[in-house]
C-alpha cells in the first residue's frame, strides 16, 4: 500500500506524455524555442466555474549532440475569468527524455514516479489570477537513439483533481543529424533515431502508444476525458 503522500503525488497523475525536452546549459538553444504551443493538451476533470488552466511547451527545442543536453520552458496559464485556487504543475519525462531539474520545483521520489517514466518534478504554482501565468525552466537530457516524451498535468494543490494535461506529446525529428553540433526537435513529431549502422532509421518504441502512469496502476479512462488516464489508489484496470 502506498502512503497517503505517495497516493497524492502519483494517484492523481494522468497518462504518459510525449516530448523530447533536454537540458541545455546556458546556450542560445533555450532562447530559440519558437512560439509556445498547447498541442496535445486536453481538459480533464471539471474545474470550478470561471477557471480554465492550460499549459504551453515550446514548438521546438535543440539537443546538443555531444552532451545530450537541452532546455525548455514549461508554462501554466489561467485563461479563465476567476482565480485558479491552489494548483500545481507536474513535469514528467519518458524514454529518451530525462528531466534533470525544474527551477523552483521538487523532484519526485523514484517510488512516486508514474509507471514507464524515468523522472518527474512537482511545481507548487499556488493561486493564478485570471489571465495569469507562470513559467518554469526545465533542464533535461535527450538520448537521440530513442523516442522522448514529456507530460504536463495541472492539478489542485493536493493532487486529487487534474484540471488539464498536455500529453502524450512527442518532441522529435524525422531527419537525424548525428554529425551536426545539435539536432533540432519539433513538438508533436515522433523521433526517428539513427540505427547503430547509421543508415536505417527504425523507431524505438511503439508509435503513438500511451504509457501507463503511476506505480499503483492506471485506468485508461479519466472522468470526462476518454483516452487519457488517471491513477487511483487501487489495482490497475485498463480500458
Per-chain mean pLDDT for the chain: 76
The x, y and z cell numbers of residue 41, run together, are 493538451
pLDDT tens per residue, range 130-152 = 999 999 999 999 999 999 999 99
Q: Report which of 61, 57, 81 is spatially closest to residue 69, judged by C-alpha positions.
A: 61
Residue 72, phi then psi, degrees to nearest 5:
-155, 170
> What distance in Å separates the CA atoms of residue 71 and residue 54, rounded to the nearest whole number?
20
Q: Report which of 188, 184, 192 is spatially closest to residue 24, judged by C-alpha positions.
A: 184
Mean pLDDT calculated for residue range 173-185: 89
Judged on CB neighbours under 10 Å (0-12, 13-18, 19+), 165 is buried
Quick one: what percent of the chain has pLDDT higher than 90?
Answer: 58
pLDDT band at 96 (very low <50, low <70, confident <90, very high): very high
Q: Which pLDDT does position 219 carry in this prediction?
A: 33
Domains present along the chain, CATH in parentheses:
4-230 (2.60.40.290)
pLDDT tens per residue, range 51-76 = 999 999 999 999 999 999 999 999 99
Q: Which pLDDT does position 76 carry in this prediction?
A: 98
Q: Which pLDDT does position 63 carry in this prediction?
A: 95
| SS3 per residue for 83-151 | CCCEEEEEEEEEECEEEEEECCCEECCHHHCCCCEEEEEEEEEEECCCCCEEEEEEEEEECCCCCEEEE
pLDDT tens per residue, range 181-222 = 999 999 999 998 866 544 333 333 344 433 344 433 333 233
> What distance in Å separates the CA atoms of residue 108 and residue 120, rounded to the nearest whole number?
5
> What distance in Å separates the CA atoms of residue 164 and residue 33, rounded to the nearest whole number?
23
> What distance in Å separates the CA atoms of residue 180 and residue 70, rounded to the nearest whole number?
15
Amino acid at each position: 500500500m502506498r502512503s497517503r503522500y505517495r497516493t497524492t503525488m502519483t494517484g492523481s497523475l494522468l497518462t504518459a506524455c510525449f516530448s523530447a525536452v533536454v537540458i541545455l546549459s546556458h546556450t542560445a538553444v533555450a532562447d530559440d524555442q519558437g512560439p509556445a504551443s498547447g498541442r496535445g493538451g486536453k481538459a480533464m476533470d471539471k474545474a470550478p466555474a470561471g477557471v480554465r488552466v492550460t499549459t504551453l511547451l515550446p514548438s521546438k527545442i535543440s539537443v546538443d549532440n555531444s552532451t545530450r543536453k537541452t532546455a525548455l520552458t514549461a508554462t501554466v496559464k489561467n485563461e479563465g475569468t476567476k482565480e485558479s485556487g491552489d494548483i500545481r504543475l507536474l513535469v514528467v519525462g519518458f524514454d529518451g527524455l530525462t528531466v534533470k531539474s525544474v527551477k523552483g520545483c521538487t523532484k519526485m521520489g523514484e517510488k512516486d514516479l508514474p509507471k514507464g517514466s524515468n523522472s518527474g518534478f512537482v511545481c507548487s504554482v499556488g493561486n493564478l489570477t485570471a489571465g495569469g501565468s507562470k513559467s518554469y525552466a526545465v533542464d533535461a537530457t535527450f538520448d537521440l537513439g530513442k523516442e522522448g516524451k514529456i507530460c504536463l498535468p495541472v492539478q489542485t494543490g493536493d493532487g486529487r483533481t487534474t484540471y488539464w494535461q498536455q500529453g502524450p506529446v512527442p518532441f522529435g525529428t524525422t531527419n537525424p543529424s548525428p554529425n551536426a553540433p545539435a539536432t533540432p526537435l519539433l513538438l508533436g513529431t515522433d523521433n526517428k533515431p539513427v540505427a547503430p549502422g547509421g543508415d536505417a532509421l527504425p523507431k524505438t518504441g511503439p508509435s503513438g502508444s500511451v504509457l501507463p502512469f503511476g506505480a499503483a496502476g492506471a485506468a485508461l479512462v479519466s472522468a470526462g476525458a476518454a483516452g487519457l488516464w488517471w491513477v487511483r489508489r487501487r489495482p490497475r484496470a485498463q480500458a
